[in-house]
């Protein structure tokens, strides 16, 4: 991809994030995670040269291939996809900066067991299925607070840092907004228990997510279109 176009896209994204952030509060800080599942190491390197540090991948094997190809760069790798149990050890070995998609207590217990065996720790977010959509992973909103505390109480090697959600899959802005507001309320309730990150918003809804309180957005297609 042409690096000038990439820079223009990045400048536009940053400006839109900035405008949404200021609508929320001039003190509100938002981190952009570039989702790179459809591009290769060359595009990620170009993003790094433009100042982007946080990068998100959906599949463990892609995270492995790309992080190995770019191991000379101090990138902040985020795992944002559904984690299958047979891929847990592979993910631990890759030592991601943040695992955003911890979606059940059962997965947390299994991950903790494997982390203990490898004498490692992992920073994670609890994924909330805020719109209760059958196609999406995550804890339902009513159970999220209790599930979060259960993970804290029952694991020694997982450091929970907050919550993640995918906005409602609809064209209706009010429904999407409600899904973000639901997750933000859970995040607020969990702040006394160490929650610092509220990861909400993707390419098509990140401004709305920021206005609802998101402090981390996951943007892919807008970088590379």
How does the average pLDDT of the chain come out, rounded? 97
User: What DSSP designation does 67 have?
Assistant: H
Tokens coding 82:
């559904």
Tell me the C-alpha distance between 215 and 200, whole Å.
8
Structural domain boundaries, residue 194? 3-224
Cα–Cα distance for residue pair 217/44, rounded to 1 Å:
17
What would the pLDDT profile of 197-213 be if each residue is shown by its tens digit?
A: 999 999 999 999 999 99
For residues 165-194, average pLDDT: 96
Looking at the predicted structure, is the pLDDT value of residue 184 above 90?
yes
- Confidence band for 60, pLDDT divided at 50, 70 and 90: very high
**In the prediction, which pLDDT does 124 show?**
98
Q: What is the pLDDT of residues 129-159, one digit of tens each?
A: 999 998 899 999 999 999 999 999 999 999 9
- Give the pair of three-digit tokens for residue 41: 């190491």
Instruction: Give the tens place of pLDDT for each residue, 86-122.
Output: 999 999 999 999 999 999 999 999 999 999 999 999 9
Q: Tell me, what CATH number does 144's domain have? A: 3.20.20.10
Tokens of 195: 């929650």
Q: Which residue bears the tokens 């042409």?
A: 2
When pLDDT is cut at 50, 70 and 90, the band that residue 78 belongs to is: very high
- DSSP code string of 82-135: PPPGGGHHHHHHH--SEEEEE--HHHHHHHHHHHHHTT--EEEEEEE-TT--TT
Q: Using an 8 Å Cβ cutoff, are 184 and 213 in contact?
A: yes
Grade residue 178 by pLDDT with cuts at 50, 70 and 90.
Answer: very high
Residue 2's pLDDT is 87
Number of domains in the chain: 1
At 74, the pLDDT band (50, 70, 90 cuts) reads very high
**What would the two tokens of residue 35 be?**
């989702």
C-alpha distances (whole Å) from 160 to each of 19, 59, 170 are 29, 21, 29
Q: Above 90 in pLDDT, residue 1?
A: no
Query: Is pLDDT larger for residue 185 or for residue 3?
Result: 185
pTM here? 0.96
């Amino acid at each position: 991809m042409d690096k000038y176009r990439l820079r223009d896209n990045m400048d536009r994204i940053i400006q839109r994030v900035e405008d949404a952030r200021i609508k929320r509060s001039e003190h509100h800080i938002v981190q952009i995670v570039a989702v790179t599942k459809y591009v290769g190491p060359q595009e990620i390197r170009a993003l790094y040269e433009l100042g982007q540090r946080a990068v998100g991948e959906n599949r463990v094997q892609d995270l492995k291939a790309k992080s190995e190809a770019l191991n000379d760069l101090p990138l902040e790798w985020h795992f944002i996809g559904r984690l299958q149990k047979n891929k847990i050890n592979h993910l631990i070995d890759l030592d991601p900066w943040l695992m955003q998609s911890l979606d059940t207590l059962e997965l947390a217990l299994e991950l903790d067991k494997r982390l203990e065996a490898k004498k490692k720790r992992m920073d994670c977010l609890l994924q909330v299925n805020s719109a209760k959509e059958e196609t999406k992973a995550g804890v339902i909103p009513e159970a999220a607070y209790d599930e979060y505390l259960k993970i804290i109480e029952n694991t020694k090697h997982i450091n929970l840092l907050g919550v993640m959600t995918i906005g409602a899959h609809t064209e209706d802005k009010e429904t999407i907004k409600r899904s973000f507001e639901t997750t933000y309320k859970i995040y607020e309730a969990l702040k006394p228990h160490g929650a610092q990150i509220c990861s909400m918003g993707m390419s098509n809804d990140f401004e709305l997510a920021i206005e609802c309180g998101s402090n981390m957005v996951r943007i892919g297609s807008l970088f590379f279109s």
